[in-house]
Structure 1
Amino acid sequence: MTIEDGWTDGAGGVDRTPGNRSRDALRAAQMYYLQDLTMNAIARELRTSRSTVSRLLSMARETGLVQIQVNNPSDRAPALEQQISRRFGVEAHVVPVADSVNDSEVLDRVAIQAARTIGPLVDSNAIVGVAWGSTLSAVSHHLTRKQTHDSTIVQLNGAGNTQTTGITYASEILRRFGQAYGARVEQFPVPAFFDHAATKTAMWEERSVRRILDLQRRMTMAIFGVGSIGAGIPSHVYSGGYLDREDLETLETDEVVGDVATMFFRADGTHRDIVLNTRSTGPELDQLCTVRRRICVVSGESKINGLRGALAAGLATDLILDEGSARRLVHS
């Protein structure tokens, strides 16, 4: 028996070919999670190293062979989740994070839990709208594979601006979602904001654009973050060259606190007569509210004003957020 890059190819050992790696990941997972064998015991049985067993178990989790679920023994959500659910009418998932953890690590932990929460909710024949942004980009890196049939991932808003087409950034996020769920990906190749509202009106009559708009109208699920100007990790729409100084001044005049998919709203959830919305390519917020499941993912207390506005507008049915943000949401 020889060992190469951690994978053995001897008889009875671990094989490096893709099909057999999946088989061995399943065997290792069954022994570890169902038979309570230690990694050392599994390594001896598979005639490989402990580090290879660790990689097999990681592969089992990443490819969906293993899904981990934590059940509350009291069958009741923790206090913060209960308070948020009662007050805002959403299903809340609070990610435990210590106050000492920096913004980047908070985002990563929220993204991991969001990815694991979203996976079981995506079914076959689904049309899932995905908004691009810093938070959803992080979530897309942690998605667990789940095979579905005849499902579609559709981009919620355009991504181009005067500096870039935005195609690479947005398409990578959508590609990861499509790959995770075996779904077809439909991009929306328009700018995030048109220069003139009349241009948007004309473009919305084009058949190629109307096809994407029709998919958005038939969405069964929408997944998005909340944009905020003052976030610890700046929202991509505010840091990526999408808005010039005049646009930012207009948002201030309109008392905007945040956005979802580049559609803006005020602290009380109202969004009518906000000038920039007439040029935005995001879905109308009233239309978004008709989607059966709307999953909002938020990381960082600096987004709290935007989150309150989004909840006041009724944009979310499910909310995944870090513990610090959850405390501020219910106590301030």
Structure 2
Amino acid sequence: MSSRGRFDPAILYQAALAYYVDNATQAEIADALGVSRPTVSRLLSEARAAGIVTIEVREPTVERDAELAGRLATALGLRKVYVTPTVGRRDIGAILAPGVGRAIDDAGLVPGDGLLVSSGVTVYEVVGHPLPPAPGVLVAPTVGGQLESEGPYQTNEIARRLAMKLNGRPVLLYAPALPSAELYRSLLGDPHIQEVLGLWKTAKAALLGVGAPPLTRTIMPSTFQGNPHWLRSAVGDINARPYDVHGTPLDLETNDRLIAMRLEELREVPHAIAVAVGRNKIGSIIAAARAGFFNHLVTDTDTATALEAAATTDR
């Protein structure tokens, strides 16, 4: 040690170099320097205190995720992708809400603008978390849901929760997703229904859940109940409207009375934001993106990585 009671800087440097650069263990360093293991620990501590070793702690995925987002947007033909870090088994909503917030901010909504929101587990989870304010925005469902038993398909509740987060105003859809033919005709004449249908045509943005293949799911909207033959050919759905692997909407006999925005109409929404995670949704996301049902995507690192691999392989 030096006369000041500290170790010689050369010894500090040797210990730090071996430990931090060469990945030597403290036991190996002790043998090489002829000191005890506790002394090696003190050497490393003093090397940090003396500035010989500096440790930088930073978010490891931010820059990498930004690059991944850019590549994925190109691969899927989207305007922008927002990638949030995958962190253990945290709540999906907490993981994705920051990305959804950025996407809504980027839409540049002003009071009176329409923001549509669909059903789905992921959307349901996201709207339970803080989002940046968008005062005066009109929030409306893209699909009926009054008779649904599962929370993720109660679209009025989702719209209300989202409006509260944004400090906006909910414009609710008082209708089931699939009414009888007689009720359907009656509902179309209701002024409240007409207000929502009007927003479907003029909305500046939409927040859309992308459903996994129906046969892989544990909960689904009531319109999917039973086991119709088309469930086997559906790769995913948006607004309770299923589509196949090519992004072609499935031609169902119930389509004409389903109170839900048509998939083709989503192409007219300037800022259509899909929010989806999970490797079981890779095919669902790719098909919908390439069909133009959304132009922005919020997902996590794991899903984005798998999407990029799949999208570049099947070109």
Fold shared, TM-score > 0.5 on shorter chain: yes
Which of 191, 197, 200 pairs up with 1:216? Answer: 200
Match of 1:188 in 2: 173
Instruction: Establish whether residue 96 from structure 1 lines up as the match of residue 85 from structure 2.
Output: yes
Unaligned ranges ≥5, structure 2: 1-61, 311-315
Rg: which structure is higher? 2
Correspondences of 1:65-144 after superposition (within 5 Å): 78-90=66-78, 91-97=80-86, 101-102=88-89, 105-119=91-105, 121-125=107-111, 126-144=113-131
Match of 1:225 in 2: 209
Instruction: Establish whether residue 243 from structure 1 lines up as the match of residue 224 from structure 2.
Output: yes
In structure 1, give the amino acid aligned to 2:158.
I
In structure 2, give the amino acid aligned to 1:180.
K
Give the distance between the partners of 1:228 and 1:167, measured in 2 at CA.
14
Cα separation, partners in 2 of 1:231 and 1:269, compared to 1, 3 Å = same
**By how many angstroms is 1:267 displaced?**
0.9
Cα separation, partners in 2 of 1:251 and 1:85, compared to 1, 3 Å = same
Correspondences of 1:139-288 after superposition (within 5 Å): 139-149=126-136, 151-161=137-147, 164=149, 169-196=154-181, 200=184, 203-229=187-213, 234=217, 238=220, 241-245=222-226, 248-252=227-231, 255-271=233-249, 273-288=251-266
1:78 is paired with a residue whose SS is: helix
**By how many angstroms is 1:190 displaced?**
0.9
Percent of pairs with identical residues: 21
Unaligned ranges ≥5, structure 1: 1-71
Superposition TM-score, scaled by structure 1 size? 0.65
- Contact persistence 2:118–2:239 (CA under 8 A): yes
- Contact persistence 2:138–2:171 (CA under 8 A): yes
**1:57-79 CA distances to partner (integer Å, 9 max, x unpaired)?**
xxxxxxxxxxxxxxx78xx9734
Give the distance between the partners of 1:220 and 1:142, measured in 2 at CA.
22
Superposition TM-score, scaled by structure 2 size? 0.68
In structure 2, give the amino acid aligned to 1:113.
G
**What count of residue pairs does the alignment treat as equivalent?**
249
Give the distance between the partners of 2:190 and 2:239, measured in 1 at CA.
21
2:91 is paired with a residue whose SS is: helix
1:190 is paired with a residue whose SS is: coil
- Contact persistence 2:115–2:206 (CA under 8 A): yes
Cα separation, partners in 2 of 1:315 and 1:116, compared to 1, 3 Å = same
In structure 1, give the amino acid aligned to 2:287.
G
